[in-house]
Structure 1
Amino acid sequence: MKEGPDIARIAALIGDPARANILSALMSGKALTATELAHEAGVTVQTASAHLAKLEAGGLTQMRKSGRHKYVSLAGPEVADVLEALMGLAAGTGHLRTRTGPADGALREARVCYNHLAGARGIAMFDAMVARGHLLQADDDVTLSDAGAAFVTNFGIDLAALSKARAPVCRGCLDWSARRIHLAGGLGRAMLTQIEQRGWARRQAGSRVVAFTPKGRAEFDAAFALRD
Structure 2
Amino acid sequence: MDDALNIPRIAGLLADPARATMVWTLIDGTLRPAGELAFAANVSAQSASAHLAKLVAGGLLCSEAQGRHRYFRIASAEAAHLIESLASFGAAIHPRKPPHPPLVRAMPPQFLHARTCYDHLAGDMAVRVLQAMRDKAWLFDSGQDYQLTPLGHAQLAALGIVLDLSVKGRRPFARGCVDLTQRRPHLAGMLGAALLDHYVREAWVLRAPRSRVVSITPKGLAAFHQALGI
Q: Is residue 164 of structure 1 aligned with residue 160 of structure 2?
A: no
Comparing 151-160 with 49-58, greater Cα deviation is found at 151-160
Partner of residue 10, structure 1: 10
Instruction: Give the structure-1-normalised TM-score.
Output: 0.86
Aligned counterparts of 1:79 and 1:5: Cα–Cα separation in 2:
17
Partner of residue 34, structure 2: 34
Partner of residue 194, structure 1: 198
Coordinate RMSD, CA, aligned: 2.6
Aligned counterparts of 1:100 and 1:134: Cα–Cα separation in 2:
30
Partner of residue 81, structure 1: 81
- 3-state secondary structure, aligned to 1:159: coil
Deviations 1:20-49 (A, max 9, x none): 111111110122211222232233333221
Aligned counterparts of 1:8 and 1:206: Cα–Cα separation in 2:
32
Q: How many residues align?
A: 224
Q: 1:222 to 1:95 in 2, by over 3 A?
A: same
Q: 1:103 to 1:174 in 2, by over 3 A?
A: closer
Comparing 34-43 with 146-155, greater Cα deviation is found at 34-43
Partner of residue 69, structure 1: 69
Instruction: Give the structure-2-normalised TM-score.
Output: 0.86
1:163 and 1:169 in contact (8 A); partners too: no
Aligned counterparts of 1:211 and 1:38: Cα–Cα separation in 2:
29
Aligned counterparts of 1:105 and 1:163: Cα–Cα separation in 2:
39
Deviations 1:67-107 (A, max 9, x none): 44322111212211221111112221215997999853222
Deviations 1:140-182 (A, max 9, x none): 121111111111112222312x643633332222212122111
Q: Is residue 59 of structure 1 aligned with residue 59 of structure 2?
A: yes
2:116 to 98, 103, 112: 112
Aligned counterparts of 1:154 and 1:192: Cα–Cα separation in 2:
16
Amino acid at match of 2:53: A
2:132 and 2:229 in contact (8 A); partners too: yes
2:145 and 2:172 in contact (8 A); partners too: no
Q: Is residue 91 of structure 1 aligned with residue 94 of structure 2?
A: no
Amino acid at match of 2:41: A
2:140 and 2:149 in contact (8 A); partners too: yes
- 3-state secondary structure, aligned to 1:4: helix
Q: 1:209 to 1:103 in 2, by over 3 A?
A: farther
